[in-house]
Structures are given as C-alpha cells and as structure tokens.
Amino acid sequence: MRLTPRLALGLCLLLAVPRGVSAADLETRITALAKDHKGKVAVAVKHLTTGDEFYLNADEVMPTASLIKLPIMVETYWQAAEGKVKFDATLTLTKEDKVPGSGVLTQHFSDGATFPLRDAVRLMIAFSDNTATNLVLDKIGIPATNVRMETLGLKNTRINAKVFKGSTTSVDPDRTKKYGLGSTTAREMVRVLELIDAGKVASPEACKEMVAHLKKCEDKDMFRRFLPPAVELAHKTGAVNNARTDAGIIYLKSGKSGPVALCVLTNENEDQRWAVDNAGQVLLAKIAKEVHDHFAEKK
C-alpha cells in the first residue's frame, strides 16, 4: 500500500490521540493486564478531586503482606491524638524484639538501642521494618487497628498478629492461617488513602505527616518503577512469596491534575521469585503507569 499524503496525515492524527481519553479505555487496559496475570488481581482507582473511579474485584478480601503497616500507622497517629501514646516515648530494642525480613533494625542496630516511637513509625513505612512494626504494635496493641478500621466501616482491613510471630501473638488464628499478617480489600485501602488526603485521620497535621512518611517509601519495584521520576508518590508496598501489594496516592501535575488514590492487590501468584522482574511487581508497575497516563493526559 502506497503511503499517500492524506493517509500519512491520518496516521499522524491517530497517533497523536492521547491515551486514556476515556474511562472505558482505562478499564480496558487494566482489565487486560489483570487477565494476563497468572494469579488473582484486585484494583481500585479514585481521582480524589473529580471522583472518577474504577474498580476490579475491589471487594474481594486479599492478603496485605506489609501493606497492613499503613493502617497501623493510621491507628498510631489516632492514638497519639487521643493521648493514648506519645511519639516521643522512648523504645528500647532488645534481642528478643528482632525478627527477620525487611528493615534495618535487626541487621544494623545493637541490642539496647533506644529511639522514639515516631522513628519506629518512620522505619515501619519507609523501610517496611518488621522489627519496628512489632515495637509499634507493642505500644498501640494489636486489636486496636482492627477496631479503628471497623469504626470507619472498613471491616475487612485487619492486622492479625505481630510480624513473624503469628503462632504466639495472633488475635485471629483462622485469619492468620488464611491471610497471613493482615487482610484488606482494594476499595477499603483506597478509602483509607482518601481519608488521609482529606485530612480526616486524627488531624490535618497528622495526615500531612503520614503522607510525608509514605513519600519516603524506599520500594521502587512496584508503583514507582514506570512512573516519571518527577511524579510524587506516597505509598506503601507489601510482598510475600505468593502476593505483591501496593497502595498509594499519585500526585499529578499535568492534564487532569490532582491526587489519584490507587490500590492493587495480587494473590496466589504463579511467579513467587524474589526477583526484580517478579510478575506481580511488574503488573503493579504497569497498572500504576496506566493510571498515571490516563489522568495526566486527560483534558
């Protein structure tokens, strides 16, 4: 076929049409990505200014892995506002406190090290520190987060036990067996982010601090991977052998600008490798990129 000037112009116009021009287009792209993934996928998207939203399996209860640390942070700030805990309270690290997995305390801090509760919260979010998480839970109590989430109408968002101590600290052995550390739904996690963005968790000042912690999340393998470097992202990730999770707020500065809350949960993943190109991690990254492009390019 000969490329005539008219045909060339038509092709240029077609290629110039921005991606993500309709909600149906975003739905098609995300649904296709989820369908191709070998495992369960749940997605919730909500533009926090316009209210535009998309949900896929968003009410299915799924394991959180370390994503449950976000609600734990919420409860800690609420208890601080209520005077139940103090962020400057001194915590002392003991050998018995140290657990394996993500974080820096177990490998890099000496027994007897002291630091304030506020720093433990920061480590819990920025580095997903498991030992720090357990120290925070010692202060606020394991059931407290579940009670708070249920009060907010988020009955499926639950922490089941301390990290790597499920056999001795579980508040719900059946859920621990089924979901591990915690459970949630994509819709409920986006609601948590929406409340934080609106300044309705504990206080507006507390919400600003929580967003600042989430912006320092060190995990670059999921939502952050394919986003433009200049785009701000406040998020928390989670990973266990058969699940990868991420939830956060993408801050747009072009197109239909404003914050977009996104949660993607995966479970029963066929790819259980601890590798950068793990299929679950790549899926989360691709969905975050689609969401970003859709709203950033939409006029």
Pairing of strands 53-56, 258-267: unpaired
Q: Find how far residue 288's CA is from the centre of its chain.
A: 11
Least Cα distance to 56 among 209, 227, 213, 185 occurs for: 185
Mean pLDDT per block of 10 residues along the chain (299 residues) reads 43 37 82 98 96 96 98 98 98 98 97 98 98 98 98 98 97 97 98 98 98 98 96 97 98 79 98 97 98 82
Q: Does residue 210 contact residue 75 with C-beta atoms inside 8 Å?
A: no
Q: Which residue has the tokens 């209860």?
A: 61
Nearest CA to 210 out of 244, 236, 239, 245 is that of 236
Q: Give the Cα-Cα-Cα angle 200, 232, 73 (nearest 5 degrees).
A: 40
How far is it between the farthest Cα atoms of the chain? Answer: 77
How far is residue 54's CA from residue 187's CA, in Å, rounded to a whole number?
Answer: 10
Contact between residue 182 and residue 69 where contact means Cβ atoms under 8 Å apart: no
DSSP class of residue 244?
E
pLDDT of residue 254: 63
Q: Name the token pair of 262.
A: 């996104």
* Residue 255, pLDDT score: 53
In whole angstroms, give the CA distance from residue 286 to residue 281.
9
Q: In the prediction, which pLDDT does 7 show?
A: 41
Residues 223, 126: Cα–Cα separation, whole Å: 15
Q: Contact at 8 Å (CB) between 232 and 164? A: no
Give CA 251 to chain center in angstroms: 15
Q: What per-residue confidence (pLDDT) applies to 253? A: 79
Q: So what's the pLDDT on residue 214?
A: 98
CB 213 within 8 A of CB 125: yes
54 has which bridge partners?
45
Question: What amino acid is encoded at 47 in this protein?
Answer: H
Residue in this structure with the two tokens 């109408």, named with its chain if needed: 153
Which residue ranges form the domains of the chain, and what is each CATH number? Answer: 20-60+185-299 (3.40.710.10), 69-167 (3.40.710.10)
Q: What is the pLDDT of residue 20?
A: 38
The residue type of 57 is N
Cβ partners under 8 Å of residue 293, min gap 6 = 19, 20
Among candidate residues 152, 4, 171, 10, the one with its CA nearest the CA of residue 75: 152
**The pLDDT value given to residue 22:** 61
160 touches 180 (CB < 8 A): yes
